[in-house]
Amino acid sequence: MTGSGRGIGKETAVLLAKKGINVVVCARNSREVNETVSEIRQFHSGVIGIACDVGVAAQVNGLVKKTAEHFGGVDILVNNAAVLYLKQLVNTTEGEWDETIASNLKSAFLCSKAVLPDMKRKNSGTIINVSSVAGKTGYANLSAYCASKFGMMGMTESLAWEIAGNNIRVMSICPGEVDTDMQDVDPAYRKENAGEMLKPEQVAEKIVEMAFDRKYRNGQSVDI
């Protein structure tokens, strides 16, 4: 579960743990990782935390290796890590663009690539990519974010075709605005509109439902 130190990722990790699933909490911020792990350990022992930049191949490979050592492998991968800059394209720096693509899109590529050989060997597995309505519609001042989420949608559909014969499902979920700390790029907007936004718990519930309910098909995109 990438990006699971807070927000959607944290709520999904907690909900999976409540269902008795072994969980790996992963984020760049080690403090957030430790806090989430501590919360889960109050009711479930099958959890470890690993601080990791999932935009870096060597760290992703280490993450998957440690996961296999503890739990035997990865059955469910949720690619959730993301950053957002609220800027016009002309004001977006190359560093901000690269960070957005690495965190939001390259991470999903690296993590999926790392877990797929074992999933293929076992002939089972589920990958859920957390995209966004911004992966289907472009929005002003979100060019980098939209580009990363549009890319995630294309990768999801392509990969779904590639693994169609391996009993693996690759799907995407496209939430609308969610009341998480990511919205603090515009605190005034968040304060005014939080009541109309999805709660991270709602998105987590749908992700977990998709992971276990076979009515959600390989290649499917789910709006929420």
pLDDT in tens, 95-143: 999 999 999 999 999 999 999 999 999 999 999 999 999 999 999 999 9
Kindly state the average pLDDT of the residues 53-80.
97
pTM (predicted TM-score): 0.97
Active-site residue, selected from the candidate residues 85, 139, 145, 189: 145
Domain assignment present for 2 = no
The alpha carbon dihedral of 71, 4, 117, 57 has a sign of negative
Q: What is the dihedral of CA 87, 146, 200, 23, to 10 degrees?
A: -120
Burial of 65 (0-12, 13-18, 19+ CB in 10 A): exposed
Domain assignment present for 87 = yes
Domain assignment present for 141 = yes
Instruction: Quote the CA–CA distance of 65 and 74 in Å, as a whole number.
Output: 10
**Helices (H) and strands (E) in the chain — how many of each?**
8, 6
147 secondary structure, DSSP code:
H
- What whole-number percentage of the chain has pLDDT above 70? 100
Rounded to the nearest integer, the mean pLDDT of the chain is: 97
What confidence score (pLDDT) does residue 64 get? 98
Q: How many CA atoms lie within 13 A of 182 on its CB side?
A: 26
The alpha carbon dihedral of 162, 65, 149, 191 has a sign of positive
Q: Answer for the pair 40, 13: CB distance below 8 angstroms, yes or no.
A: yes
Q: What is the domain extent for residue 42?
A: 7-223
Q: State the CATH number of the domain containing residue 161.
A: 3.40.50.720
What confidence score (pLDDT) does residue 35 get? 97
Domain assignment present for 1 = no
What confidence score (pLDDT) does residue 98 get? 98
145 catalytic? Reply is: yes
Q: Answer for the pair 78, 130: CB distance below 8 angstroms, yes or no.
A: yes
Residues 6+ apart with CB under 8 A from 81: 2, 3, 9, 26, 27, 54, 55, 103, 104, 107
Number of folded domains that form the chain? 1
Domain assignment present for 84 = yes
